[in-house]
Amino acid sequence: MLSMKDDGTLKKEICTIAAIIYEKGFVVATDGNVSARTADNCILITPSGQRAVTVEDIVKLDLDGTILGCKQNPSSEYRMHIEVYRRRTDVQGIIHTHPPYATAFAVAGIPLEPIIAEAVFANGKIPITPYATPSTEEVPKSISELIKNHGALLLAHHGLLTVGKDLLDALNRTERVEFLAHVSFLAKMLGNAVPLSPERIEKLMKLQK
C-alpha cells in the first residue's frame, strides 16, 4: 500500500512529528529518527545528527538506500527503516525514539507486558530485539523477524521502534508504549505489577473484533 500524500505533505508531517517527540522528551539532543513511505515507494527520512529539522532537510531514499537528491545525509539508522518498509507493505510511517521508561525496560531486558487493559489491543506484548550496535548493519538484522508481527519493538540497550499505517498511528504507538512502560515501572515499585489473566485478555481480544 503506497501513500496517497505527496512528498511535500509527508515532509511537513515528518517535521511536525520530529518536533513532537523532542518536546515530549522521547528523544534528547539530536537523537531519534522519523520516516514515511512515499507514493512512488521510496522513503523520506530525517537527516543525520540534526536537532531542528525543516522540510529542506528531509532526505529521500529508494528502498536500496540510494539517496535521491538532498544535500543532507540521511539518519544513521536509515537501514533499519528500509528493512521495515521491505518487510511490512502495510507500514507507511516509522518512528525511532529513546523514551526514558521504555528504554529502561530495554536496558533491564524486561519485555513490556500489557498490564493495562487498553494496552492489550493497542500493542500487546512488546518484545526486545537482540542487541545490535546502533547505526550498523546489525540493526536491520536484529529487527527483521520480530517486526513482522509487532507494531512496537524495544531495541536492547538502545530504545524504541514503532510503526504505523501513517505517522500519527506510529506516534500514538510511541506514546502508548512509553505510558505503559511508565505505569509498569510504578506498579513494580509498588511491588505488584499484576498481569491480566488469560480470560481477561481473551475477553478484551473479542471486544477488539
Applying CB under 5 A, the site for Zn ion has a residue count of: 1
List the interface residues with Zn ion, window 133-162 (CB under 5 A): 159
**Shortest spacing between CB 39 and Zn ion, in angstroms:** 28
3-state SS, residue 153: strand
Residue whose beta carbon is closest to Zn ion: 159
Beta carbon nearer to Zn ion, 140 or 159: 159
Beta carbon nearer to Zn ion, 151 or 159: 159
Cell of 42: 521510496
Alpha-carbon distance values, 20 to 66, 74, 171, 175 (Å): 28, 20, 9, 11
Catalytic residue among 77, 145, 175, 178: 77
| 77 given a catalytic annotation | yes
**Shortest spacing between CB 17 and Zn ion, in angstroms:** 15
* Beta carbons within 8 Å of 188's beta carbon, 6+ residues apart: none
Cell of 22: 523532542
Q: What is the DSSP letter of 91?
A: -
**Shortest spacing between CB 106 and Zn ion, in angstroms:** 10
Beta bridge partners of 159: 155
Alpha helix (H) residue ranges in the chain: 7-23, 78-87, 100-108, 117-122, 138-143, 167-189, 198-208
**Shortest spacing between CB 159 and Zn ion, in angstroms:** 5
Q: 132 with 142: CB under 8 angstroms?
A: yes
Beta carbon nearer to Zn ion, 3 or 129: 129
How far is residue 51's CA from residue 22's CA, in Å, rounded to a whole number? 9
List the interface residues with Zn ion, window 168-187 (CB under 5 A): none
Beta carbon nearer to Zn ion, 114 or 159: 159
* Beta carbons within 8 Å of 35's beta carbon, 6+ residues apart: 14, 43, 44, 45, 46, 75, 78, 81, 93, 94
**Shortest spacing between CB 98 and Zn ion, in angstroms:** 6
Beta carbon nearer to Zn ion, 95 or 120: 95
List active site positions.
77
Judged by the rule CB under 5 A, the positions of this chain that interact with Zn ion are 159
